[in-house]
Amino acid sequence: MRFEGKVVIVTGADRGIGRSTVARFLEEGARVVAADLAPAAGLKEYERDARVAVALGDVSVRADAERIVATAVDRFGRLDVLVNNAGIMDRFLPVGEVTDELWHKVLAVNLTGPMYLARAAMPHLVASKGVVVNVTSIGGLFGARGGAAYAASKHGLIGLTKNIAAAYAKDGVRAVAIAPGGVNTGISIGGEPSARGYEALNRTLPAAVRMAEPAEIAAVIAFAASGEASFVSGEVLVADGGWTAY
């Protein structure tokens, strides 16, 4: 019960890593704001639990991001942990193939959205000496685990994490990035993949490494947000089954 009395926001909460993360925090005593773009099966299940507040919205829209944070404070009176998990992919399109529209959309969801949420949450996290956990990717550490937009957004999210950690350390706020490898989430890559981008990805894939289950990443997120990680801030915790060790 590491999170008894704590209030947590999880974005991208309807399925995959987000859904498993909500379940993990609930198991450990937290009250949770489960945020996602549209009401789907996972969110409807949460509505039956008094410990969960469902917040619908697009994290890349400032007003929606601010409303998600306000939901936590209005419903539960505080905020202790922000998990920026919502994200989209880009068909592994390299820079010569990516469109303006896709570039802006991926950056908006994967990077601007977490900034909006962290900015709105920061006064409350300062008050609680809370934690920001940003779910990035090994695509934010290397060049071939996504397309140009995805790689840029996830690299940027790591930079945002480090800046939050440095700027708010004196207030007792921590920020940690989680970098998963392949995870069985069912996330769409956004359409037909680029042949060039997919070829670059496949050159990095070791045959010995399996896909993670969402609950395995949720466990890492919960650790990063817990008091057991009290001296971990501004760091990237890689959970990729050894993919990048090859």
Give per-residue pLDDT as tens, 136-154: 999 999 999 999 999 999 9
Side-chain half-sphere exposure of 2, counting CA atoms within 13 A:
15
CA distance 138 to 136: 7
Q: What count of other Cβ atoms lies within 10 Å of the Cβ of residue 87? A: 27
Residue 82 β-bridge partners: 9, 132
Q: Which residue has the higher pLDDT, 208 or 121?
A: 121
Q: How does pLDDT run across 116-135, given as a tens digit for each residue?
A: 999 999 999 999 999 999 99
Instruction: Let me know if 150 is a catalytic residue.
Output: yes
Burial of 186 (0-12, 13-18, 19+ CB in 10 A): exposed
pTM of the model: 0.96
Over residues 5-52, the pLDDT tens digits come to 999 999 999 999 999 999 999 999 999 999 999 877 777 888 789 999
Measured between its terminal Cα atoms, the distance across the chain in Å is: 37
The full set of domains in the chain, from first to last, is 7-245 (3.40.50.720)
Indicate which residue of 46, 150, 198, 246 is catalytic.
150
Q: Which residues contact 66 (CB under 8 A, 6 or more apart)?
A: 116, 120
Q: Tens digits of per-residue pLDDT, 182-201?
A: 999 988 888 889 999 989 99
Q: Which residues contact 101 (CB under 8 A, 6 or more apart)?
A: none
State the pLDDT at residue 241.
96
- The one-character DSSP state at 212 is B
Arithmetic mean of pLDDT, 166-173: 98
Q: What is the mean pLDDT of the chain?
A: 96
The per-residue pLDDT for 130 is 98
